[in-house]
Structure 1
Amino acid sequence: MEIDRTTLDRLLPGLRKRLAEVSLTELESEKNPGIEIFRTLGGTNLLVPKEHGGLGADALDAVRVMRALAAVAPSTAVATMMHQFSVSTMVAAVSFGAESGVNPALLDSITQNQLLLSSAFAEGRTDQDILQPTMTATPVEGGFLVSGTKKPCSLSRSMNLMTASVALPPEHSITGLGIAVIPADAEGLSVHPFWSSFVLAGAESDEVRLTDVFVPAEQMVAPPIEQAIMLQMTGLVHFQLSVSAAYTGIASALVQQVLERGRGSVTDRADLAVRIESAALATEAVARQLIAGDPIHTTLAAAQVARFGAQQTIGEVVNRAVELLGGMAYVSSSDIAYLAAASHGISFHPPSRSSAASSIVDYFTAG
């Protein structure tokens, strides 16, 4: 993971060191200080282009940063990958120009004010497209009234803005899809307890309810159909890359312990390292496709392959790593059990393996 750590230290100097000074137990608690540390040290600006004051990290930088971050602070990584998903979608929309309806000043505001964006898409709904609308928008004078609920919604307590997919009437969007940008302190927006598990409790994954929240017309993005399709596909690629990188990082933390403690035979240790690095390299390969501008449908198929490949590898690698670390290591600290439990989270992000199976098979069997 040396190149991942080096990338994180180069782009966000001091972040890894600051997080390492906090115990894993505290970082994974409901009062997780990692998210604020991430914000303070510029993590919000990672994917914002340099012309808007950001760090201008590309997709390859992003997955390396995510892996290194998750190895130190799993909840912080899982929470902030939703911010990165929202930012990458906004950056893609801005690249389309004025027709997309996204004001480039939003990107300037993110960097100037270190804003964190939550994502109210289909996270937690494993059989639904992540960009399928989860809320409704009713047209009113000057904008829309948005209502609905998002649970779980990561960054629920630290967010400054929420980006939400909403169902728009046909006269406002030929695709029926809109993306609303909503301030966290908007009237009618409330946060409620939802996440009951101790695993990834620090990701702030509570329930966010919107009841007739007024969204001005200029804060509702309804791009033309071709752009909407591109945004959906590009956003899903970024999301799958983040999911793969984050959970590969969590598993890598366990593999690192096996290597440092010299557990098992040299063949055992080499096997674990090869398998988890293979998952990381597959994720990086897709990031390189995105940078190279490969056809987006090809890149999306590759992202799905990398994500589900990583999902299977992580399950096997984590089980073997825990076994090799042994019972005494397991009972002497809760960290091993915690990392093993957290690694299972990769299975619960959309799309599910079963819902994606048909499209994957169709892609590989298409003439």
Structure 2
Amino acid sequence: MRTLEAARAVCEQFHPGLVGALKELTWAEREKPGSPVIELFRAHEGVGLLVPREHGGAGADLVQAVQVMRALGSLSPSLAAAATMHHFTAATLYALAPTEGRLTGAQIDVLKSVVPDRRIMASGWAEGRTEQNILAPAVKAERVDGGYVLNGSKKPCSLSGSMDILTASIAVTGPTGEPELAMALIPADSPGITTHPFWGNDVLAAAESEEVRLTDVFITEDLVIRTTDEDPERMQALQLAGFVWFELLISAGYVGAAGALVEKVLERKRGGAQDQVQLAIRVESAYALLEGAARAVLDGVDGEEAVANALIARYGAQQLIAESTATALELLGGLDFITSADSARLASGVRPLAFHPPSRASVAESLIAYLGGEPLVLG
């Protein structure tokens, strides 16, 4: 399919050889527990997509990142889901770097090491929720001499088996004595970090979405990034990077998976031309919604408008790909279903988009109020 091939070409531009390496594996090999897809992502310059050029990365913009995620979703929905967690973490952390004096030497060293050392970052945040909620403290932090002792857990935590750095939001005591939001950069091999089985579904099984527990994990003061100060633009940048980027990137991966299923229908000429074009229109419309929201961000749209655009694009895409995958499975027919699990895996791999927070039902009233002229308030 022309547009999927275009997305794969963009992926090849940023990650030379990754598309071919994934295609060498069967679909079952890509999606099973213990799959090599994350290590292939690491080996083919995957970690640097959203890392700025001054830190050794590719410096991709949001539109390019959405295209890459569409391509990855068409080849491995598990990898797309896992890579999203690394990418939106990178987008958030590196948004802090341009602020003069904001990061310490140790923090800058960590960020500068991501690309040359091919370090994968997992997210211990409450991803997919806006304002204070996206960075709401997910881990308890106790101040001790020289740093903090951390306790808590994240489940599911994608990349749990491959992560080099675990990032987590924590609450620390601010200058006035009040709790203050901060982010911790935690080496994944720190004593007290353990991984436990959690993901019990075959769908997206290669994303390594298990439970990560932190039990009395010590980190030094210089690995804690403060995020609350008198600079409101900085928190807005975090909101954009953490929420808008997450929603668009995760959605693009699922749209890619749906596109791969539609691509099979077109290649095999299943159904009539009318059936095929309706399928193509749905899946192309789903992607157009995401790309439109991404381009708006590049054009300067920010704040609650960017958040609303991302949510509307995500929920619109969610509905369109659910419809298109159901129809595509029907057109591919019973023999395809019986003789291979690949199409069923693709169709099933699209459904989890509905489960990423925030759910459509939870924000319905807020979106209606926003469309009616009220501020967008998501809790």
- Interval containing the TM-score (normalised by the shorter chain): over 0.9
Q: Judging changes above 3 Å, is the alpha-carbon distance between structure 1 residues 296 and 243 closer, same or farther for their aligned structure 2 residues? A: same
Question: What is the CA-CA distance between 1:181 and the residue it aligns to?
Answer: 0.7
Given residue 145 of structure 2, which amino acid in structure 1 is its aligned partner? E
**Which residue among 175, 184, 187 is the counterpart of 1:183?**
187
Given residue 357 of structure 1, which amino acid in structure 2 is its aligned partner? A
Cα distance in 1 for residues equivalent to 2:277 and 2:71: 20
Question: What is the CA-CA distance between 1:173 and the residue it aligns to?
Answer: 8.3
| Range moving further from structure 2, 301-310 or 160-169 | 160-169
Tell me what 1:334 maps to.
341
Tell me what 1:67 maps to.
70
User: What is the SS of the residue equivalent to 1:111?
Assistant: coil
**2:5 counterpart of 1:2:** yes
Cα distance in 2 for residues equivalent to 1:256 and 1:238: 26
Cα distance in 2 for residues equivalent to 1:179 and 1:356: 26
**Which residue among 21, 24, 39 is the counterpart of 1:21?**
24
Cα distance in 2 for residues equivalent to 1:97 and 1:277: 42
Tell me what 1:352 maps to.
359
Q: TM-score, normalised by structure 1?
A: 0.95
Question: What is the CA-CA distance between 1:170 and the residue it aligns to?
Answer: 4.5
User: What is the SS of the residue equivalent to 1:168?
Assistant: strand
Q: Judging changes above 3 Å, is the alpha-carbon distance between structure 1 residues 291 and 106 closer, same or farther for their aligned structure 2 residues? A: farther
**Which residue among 281, 284, 288 is the counterpart of 1:274?**
281
User: What is the SS of the residue equivalent to 1:137?
Assistant: strand
Question: What is the CA-CA distance between 1:52 and the residue it aligns to?
Answer: 1.2
Question: What is the CA-CA distance between 1:174 and the residue it aligns to?
Answer: 5.8
Question: What is the CA-CA distance between 1:309 and the residue it aligns to?
Answer: 0.7
Question: What is the CA-CA distance between 1:169 and the residue it aligns to?
Answer: 3.5
Question: What is the CA-CA distance between 1:287 and the residue it aligns to?
Answer: 1.3
- Deviations along 1:141-188, one digit per CA (max 9) or x if unpaired, are 111111101010000000000111123335488663221110110011
User: What is the SS of the residue equivalent to 1:65?
Assistant: helix
Given residue 275 of structure 1, which amino acid in structure 2 is its aligned partner? R
Question: What is the CA-CA distance between 1:319 and the residue it aligns to?
Answer: 0.6
Given residue 312 of structure 1, which amino acid in structure 2 is its aligned partner? Q
User: What is the SS of the residue equivalent to 1:145?
Assistant: strand
- Deviations along 1:77-122, one digit per CA (max 9) or x if unpaired, are 1111100010000111113332366933333110110000000112
Tell me what 2:163 maps to.
159
**2:22 counterpart of 1:50:** no
Q: Judging changes above 3 Å, is the alpha-carbon distance between structure 1 residues 124 and 194 closer, same or farther for their aligned structure 2 residues? A: farther
Question: What is the CA-CA distance between 1:64 and the residue it aligns to?
Answer: 0.4
User: What is the SS of the residue equivalent to 1:60?
Assistant: helix
Q: Judging changes above 3 Å, is the alpha-carbon distance between structure 1 residues 95 and 365 closer, same or farther for their aligned structure 2 residues? A: farther
Cα distance in 1 for residues equivalent to 2:205 and 2:277: 32
Please say if residues 130 and 351 of structure 1, whose CA atoms lie closer than 8 Å, have aligned partners that are also in contact: no
Tell me what 2:203 maps to.
199
Please say if residues 279 and 324 of structure 2, whose CA atoms lie closer than 8 Å, have aligned partners that are also in contact: yes
Percent identical pairs in the alignment equals 43
Given residue 257 of structure 1, which amino acid in structure 2 is its aligned partner? K
Tell me what 1:35 maps to.
38
Cα distance in 2 for residues equivalent to 1:203 and 1:98: 36
Please say if residues 129 and 351 of structure 1, whose CA atoms lie closer than 8 Å, have aligned partners that are also in contact: no
Cα distance in 1 for residues equivalent to 2:27 and 2:241: 33
User: What is the SS of the residue equivalent to 2:102?
Assistant: helix
Tell me what 2:298 maps to.
291
Q: Judging changes above 3 Å, is the alpha-carbon distance between structure 1 residues 124 and 25 closer, same or farther for their aligned structure 2 residues? A: farther
- Deviations along 1:49-90, one digit per CA (max 9) or x if unpaired, are 111111111111101000101101111111111000100001
Cα distance in 2 for residues equivalent to 1:288 and 1:257: 29
Question: What is the CA-CA distance between 1:229 and the residue it aligns to?
Answer: 4.3
Within 5 A, what are the aligned runs for 1:43-192?
Answer: 43-99=46-102, 103-123=107-127, 129-171=133-175, 176-192=180-196
Cα distance in 1 for residues equivalent to 2:46 and 2:154: 24
Please say if residues 128 and 358 of structure 2, whose CA atoms lie closer than 8 Å, have aligned partners that are also in contact: no
Q: Judging changes above 3 Å, is the alpha-carbon distance between structure 1 residues 44 and 189 closer, same or farther for their aligned structure 2 residues? A: same
Please say if residues 236 and 303 of structure 2, whose CA atoms lie closer than 8 Å, have aligned partners that are also in contact: no
Unpaired segments of 5 or more residues in structure 2? 375-379
Aligned length: 366
Unpaired segments of 5 or more residues in structure 1? none
Question: What is the CA-CA distance between 1:234 and the residue it aligns to?
Answer: 2.8
Tell me what 2:220 maps to.
216
Given residue 363 of structure 1, which amino acid in structure 2 is its aligned partner? Y
User: What is the SS of the residue equivalent to 2:173?
Assistant: coil
- Deviations along 1:297-333, one digit per CA (max 9) or x if unpaired, are 2111100111111111111111111111111111110
Please say if residues 129 and 243 of structure 2, whose CA atoms lie closer than 8 Å, have aligned partners that are also in contact: no
Q: Judging changes above 3 Å, is the alpha-carbon distance between structure 1 residues 308 and 7 closer, same or farther for their aligned structure 2 residues? A: same
**Which residue among 309, 321, 325 is the counterpart of 1:314?**
321
Cα distance in 2 for residues equivalent to 1:230 and 1:112: 26
How much is the aligned-residue C-alpha RMSD, in angstroms? 2.0
Cα distance in 2 for residues equivalent to 1:260 and 1:130: 41
- Deviations along 1:183-225, one digit per CA (max 9) or x if unpaired, are 1100111111111111111000010000111121111112235
- Deviations along 1:256-279, one digit per CA (max 9) or x if unpaired, are 001001111101111111111111
